[in-house]
Amino acid sequence: MPPAKVLALLVLVVRVSVALAGGNRDRGQDEVGPGPDEGPSYFGVVLDAAGKPVDDARVTATHRDGLAMVTRSNTAGAYKLPGFNKKFSADDVKISCAKPGYRQMRVFRHPPPRSGQVKAVETECRLQKS
Amino acid sequence: MLRYGQALSAQKSIYSLPVTLAEREGLFRREGIDLRIVIPVPGGADLMIAALHDDTVDVTHVATPFLVRAALAGSDAVAIAAEFNDPIYSLVARPEIARIADLKGRVVALADPGGSITYSMRKLLALHGLRESDVQVKTIDGTPARLNCLRRGGCDAVPLGQPQDLVAQAEGYRLLGVSNDAVPPYLYTVTAARRSWAAANPDLLARYVRALAASFAMIRDPQKRRPVVDAIVDITGASPAIAEGVLQLYAGKKVLPERGEIDVKGIAQVIAFMGQTGQIKAPLPDANRFVDLRYLERAGIR
């Protein structure tokens, strides 16, 4: 079987099994869910130069130390990532986005509320066809 | 740069200790490797091999049954080093329950029905004359969630990994038995890579394996106890005393590999579990199909 077909089949099998198992549930090994030690989550949207949503873009949140979380945008261009450990400052976390055939134009982080604890950080990522 | 995949769950569990310690102590840097830990979201053991295929990561931490399942579905991923050999799951009960036989009619939490934790607990119950139908089974994924069930009174007995089994015993709960009493040793978690990627990066993988071997040596070295305890505390949130207890529990046992070596018999045992639980059908595949030992050999490890 050609490698591309194997990959497509594997991804399909995995996605279907994850959906059947309850979507985002992290399962299989002995897992630990989000805890009180978790910092702010990261969410936002990936758009093209015309402001239209870009689906299946790879969105990466990278901490200054190198630890990274990776997800993909949905059909509305939206993404969401859980928080790193709360000892990590959100200021040290960079959001980037990528998709084959596109290059990253700019990343805009919405300013957090002036008061209170930051629970989520919203960032818009723009891609341009290359 | 080497992108190492890790499930969010594993990152906070004892199973991340070998790689996390190597990273904290500069063992990868010493081998000239800029290791980046990458957590795919959504995550979980069932998605880690897919992260190899869609170029999210170069190598990944994965529980052996998920590697076997992915390979049987067409993936060319193979185990290149062992990370955790033979896990210890403790069956811990309410204080008034003295023996496994006393669990008859009681609520016992188990994990994923097809997983090795549930399999080993079924075998442990059977050793003491109990069938699964003799107890009220509640499926709860995750050691922390099962400990919560025990604490809140919703469960009479639960299987717990480290460090929560030691935490529970310190709180007065009773240890009834351990998984290792009931099942032979098996290979729990490995580092996996695609054959094609590995073949193109043999030197990088040999250096990765050497760094991992140095981490296992550090975990075993009494003179290096402090950084290892600190790593367990940071990873799991346990107290230093409990972290020390985890290391004492592992001492002299085959929970961790000596140097990352892969015991193919441990994979064969996983395949046997999967066959016995109906996850794969006979004829069962040869365990060698899921392993590539060349990078261990290149690093001088057998």
Query: What ipTM score was computed for the predicted complex, to two decimals?
Result: 0.83
**A29, B7: Cβ pair inside 8 Å?**
yes
**A30, B15: Cβ pair inside 8 Å?**
yes
Residues of chain A with pLDDT under 70: 1-36, 115
Mean pLDDT of the residues in chain B: 95
Instruction: Strand B157-160: give its sheet, edge to edge.
Output: B136-139, B107-110, B157-160, B90-93, B174-178
Determine contact: B148 vs chain A, CB below 8 A.
no
Separation CA A98–CA A116 (nearest Å): 32
User: Looking at the structure, do residues B110 and B139 belong to the same domain, yes or no?
Assistant: yes
User: Looking at the structure, do residues B277 and B291 belong to the same domain, yes or no?
Assistant: yes
Separation CA B61–CA B22 (nearest Å): 14
Mean pLDDT of B104-132: 92
More confident residue, B45 or B104: B104
How many whole angstroms from its chain centre is CA B33?
24
pLDDT band at B11 (very low <50, low <70, confident <90, very high): confident
For chain B, percent of residues with pLDDT exceeding 90: 87
* B199: Cβ contacts below 8 Å, ≥ 6 apart: none
Spell B25-38 as b/e; 16+ CB within 10 A means b: bebbeebebebbbb
Rounded to the nearest angstrom, the minimum Cα separation between B198 and chain A is 16
**How many domains is chain B built from?**
2
For residue B155, what is the domain's CATH number?
3.40.190.10
Determine contact: A66 vs chain B, CB below 8 A.
yes
Confidence at residue A22, expressed as pLDDT on a 0 to 100 scale: 32
Mean pLDDT check: name the lowest of A114-128, B171-185, B203-217. A114-128
pLDDT digits (tens, 9 = 90+) for B18-31: 999 999 999 999 99
User: Looking at the structure, do residues B75 and B203 belong to the same domain, yes or no?
Assistant: yes
User: Looking at the structure, do residues B73 and B199 belong to the same domain, yes or no?
Assistant: yes
Indicate the DSSP class of residue B13: S
Report which secondary-structure segment, H or E, holds B261.
Answer: none
Q: Which A-chain residues 109-128 have CB contacts (< 8 A) with chain B? A: none
In one-letter notation, the amino acid at residue B109 is A
* B158: Cβ contacts below 8 Å, ≥ 6 apart: B91, B92, B93, B108, B109, B140, B146, B147, B149, B150
Task: Residue count of chain A, please give it.
Answer: 130
Strand partners, A27: none
Confidence at residue A32, expressed as pLDDT on a 0 to 100 scale: 44
User: Looking at the structure, do residues B194 and B77 belong to the same domain, yes or no?
Assistant: yes
Q: Which of A3, A18, A30 sits opposite B47 (nearest CB)?
A: A18
Determine contact: A82 vs chain B, CB below 8 A.
yes
Range of the domain at B128: 90-181
Confidence at residue A36, expressed as pLDDT on a 0 to 100 scale: 62
Determine contact: B145 vs chain A, CB below 8 A.
yes
pLDDT band at B116 (very low <50, low <70, confident <90, very high): confident
Cβ atoms of B232 and B246 within 8 Å: the answer is yes
Determine contact: B264 vs chain A, CB below 8 A.
no
User: Looking at the structure, do residues B203 and B162 belong to the same domain, yes or no?
Assistant: no
Give the best residue of A30, A67, A71 to mutate against chain B (max B CB count within 10 A): A30
Determine contact: A105 vs chain B, CB below 8 A.
no
Mean pLDDT check: name the lowest of A2-16, B91-105, B179-193. A2-16
Confidence at residue B6, expressed as pLDDT on a 0 to 100 scale: 94
Confidence at residue A3, expressed as pLDDT on a 0 to 100 scale: 53
User: Looking at the structure, do residues B212 and B140 belong to the same domain, yes or no?
Assistant: no
**B73, A37: Cβ pair inside 8 Å?**
no
User: Looking at the structure, do residues B81 and B197 belong to the same domain, yes or no?
Assistant: yes
User: Looking at the structure, do residues B167 and B264 belong to the same domain, yes or no?
Assistant: no
Determine contact: A7 vs chain B, CB below 8 A.
yes
User: Looking at the structure, do residues B135 and B219 belong to the same domain, yes or no?
Assistant: no
